[in-house]
Amino acid sequence: MAKYTAKFSCGHAETVDLVGPEKDRTRKLAWMEQKTCGACNKAAKAAKVAEAVEAVGDAPALEGSEKQIAWATKIRAEIIADLRAQRAAIATIALKVAGNAQAEAGIAAAYAAIDAAGAKTSAAWWIDNRTAGRAAAAALTEDVGAKALITRTIKA
């Protein structure tokens, strides 16, 4: 095992232990020069989480472990951005069906489901529904018209 001083692209330097043939150690040091150090990586992740928190604005605080909250914050920011776009698509449909009581009830239920998804505070819920995206809102309503409307706007 040999100790080397690795210089990273961020300008920081760290002492690292490298093992293996000399050519592999040289290659590893060259690779490290193209990467940022561990401290800068942690700072970048923290900045991304802070950016995601800012993107969701006044959403309620998440509940769960520290790791769950960090991961769910990013997921929630992406899904809430999608839900806002979905709400806009539903508003366009609402203008076309004005006066149709059944359609308006479905639209109201769809809005309620979207709002319910945005109000979820469980980090585990956001993680479990990360692949569902906009469809997560459809799962929160029993109204068949709202489910159809939400599904229709997903394809839009």
For residue range 19-71, what is the model confidence (pLDDT) as tens digits? 999 999 999 999 999 999 888 988 887 777 677 666 666 778 889 998 998 88
- Which of 110, 119, 113, 115 shows the shortest CA–CA distance to 90? 110
pLDDT, residue 55, reads 65
Q: Tell me: the pLDDT tens digits for 54-67?
A: 666 677 888 999 89
Query: What whole-number percentage of the chain has pLDDT above 70?
Result: 83
SS3 130: coil
Distance CA 78, CA 133 (A): 8
Q: Is the pTM of this model over 0.85?
A: no
User: In angstroms, what CA-CA distances link 10 with 41, 105, 152?
Assistant: 10, 56, 47
| Domain ranges, ordered by start, for the chain | 2-36, 59-155
CA 41/CA 142 separation, integer angstroms: 44
Mean pLDDT of 96-115: 78
Owner of token pair 């809005």: 111
Rounded to whole angstroms, the Cα distance separating 134 from 20 reads: 49
Phi, psi of 5 (to 5 degrees): -100, 115
